[in-house]
Structure 1
Amino acid sequence: MTDPYLAPALVISECQRGILHPGLSVSSGLAEEVAARGIVGRTAALAREFRNRGLPVVHCIIEHRADQAGMLPNSYLGAMALRTRSLTVGTPDVEIPSELGPEPGDIVSSRATGVTAFYGTDLDAMLRLQGVRTVVLAGVSTNVALPGLATEAVNRGYHVVLAEDCTAGTSAQAHAAMLENLIGALARITPSEDIAARLPRQ
């Protein structure tokens, strides 16, 4: 059986002020869960472990165009983004918390539209060029972005590991339900300390 930690990269999903900050987020429940679960600090610690071993750290962020080109109100998230003009390129909304980086060697993958990190980005190409075989997921949310990211990663042949204590959903109940009913079928769900202990050195 292939080692699920072979050639890993840490992929941090949508950890941005406009999503995490209680006063800015379009989902107050998600922002509250992020704070309650302390995911930023644990994700920062896990990112340091990856960097110390010479392993890739990738930040997947949303940066909508100022003219909103390519955005459609064909989902609740799309409609809310259009109405609130949130996560627009060049605004404080899109900033990554300083604890997380990005550090000079990190990769930042930005998308202007869509709801998952592989859509319309160079994420897959960048991972393959780094020789990545396993994506370790952290960030938000376990409602939409992370299950979507896990699905697309599996479709592309990657192993997927979810750092459970580095993730959050819009509520504790939603988080648990998504892990049990969807993400658990796609990814190995593991605490971040266990992941750090298994990491190879590049």
Structure 2
Amino acid sequence: MPDLDPATTALLTVECQNGVVGEESALPELAKEARDSGMLERVAALAEAARGAGIQVLHAVAERRPDGRGANTNARLFRAAGKLPVRQISGTEAVRLAAPLAVAEQDLVVRRLHGLSPMAGTDLDALLRNLGVRTLVVTGVSSNIAIPNTVFDAVNLGYQVVVPADAIAGVPASCTAEVIRNSLALVATITTAEALLMRWAPAT
């Protein structure tokens, strides 16, 4: 496990927004898994503990303009998203963080209008480097697509990556375990939310 020095560590939540994992989600199966598994509560607890330990928290949000301008159409996923009853439109409730998560004053929010990863074509890498971050703790959804993309991009950019296995989710639930075992464990440090919470707990 990297040393998780607060000066060089950041916690990232990926697509933990109402339109993805909230009660009015465009992806109800994924939302149900994220909520029923306790993933959202663990991510919220990690964010709170990280702030208390002096670790920067960032939230990656996927959204699109009402006219879709600039959004990808080069994969079935993108075309299907444009037809869903709940759309991730900028400025709407769908792109706000889902409870129990909330944006604290010191948090940073990184929004993207295109692609599959919050690292590609956004401010995220520049923000992390300006903050002196070398280790990135990745949480959120989904283990099917966005989480692997985030981890691979971060590793390619030279970051140490830590993934708490019970603070990410995908569908079906078995997919998450397979992705961790066969892909993420090869490039990132796999841990649990509890282990991180113990590391970040205030000294008594």
Residue correspondence of structure 1 range 27-106 to structure 2 within 5 A: 27-84=27-84, 86-106=87-107
Q: Which residue of 1 aligns with 2:144?
A: 143
Alignment of 1:1-202 (within 5 A): 3-6=2-5, 7-25=8-26, 27-84=27-84, 86-199=87-200
> Which range moved further: 72-81 or 5-14?
72-81
| One-letter identity of the residue aligned with 2:119 | F
1:165 offset after TM fit, Å? 1.2
Of the structure 1 ranges 112-121 and 75-84, higher mean CA displacement relative to structure 2 is found in 75-84
Distance (Å, rounded) in 1 between the aligned partners of 2:184 and 2:23? 26
Provide the rounded CA distance (Å) in 1 between the counterparts of 2:24 and 2:110.
Answer: 25
1:81-120 deviation line (CA, Å, top 9, x unaligned): 2223710112211110242210000010000111100122
- 1:160 deviation in Å? 0.4
Using the TM superposition, give the Cα deviation of residue 132 of structure 1 relative to its aligned residue in structure 2, in angstroms. 0.6
Give me the identity figure in percent.
36
Any idea what the Cα deviations from partners look like across 1:19-38, whole Å, max 9, x if unmatched? 0135422x332112112211
The alignment covers a number of residue pairs equal to 199
CA RMSD of aligned residues (A): 1.8
Q: TM-score, normalised by structure 2?
A: 0.91
State the alpha-carbon separation in 1 of the partners of residues 98 and 135 from structure 2. 25
Map Cα deviations across residues 23-79 of structure 1 (whole Å, 9 max, x no partner).
Answer: 422x33211211221111111111111101111000000121122111232212211
SS in structure 1 opposite 2:90? Answer: coil
> Which amino acid letter does the alignment assign opposite residue 189 of structure 2?
R
TM-score using structure 1 length: 0.92
Q: How far apart, CA to CA, are the structure 1 residues paired with 2:14 and 2:179?
A: 16
Question: Quick check: 1:16–1:95 contact (8 Å CA) kept in 2?
Answer: yes
**Pairwise CA distance, 1:198:** 2.9
* SS across alignment from 2:60: strand
Unpaired runs of 5+ in structure 1? none
Q: What letter is aligned with 2:20?
A: I
**Matches of 2:95 and 2:120, distance apart in 1:** 18
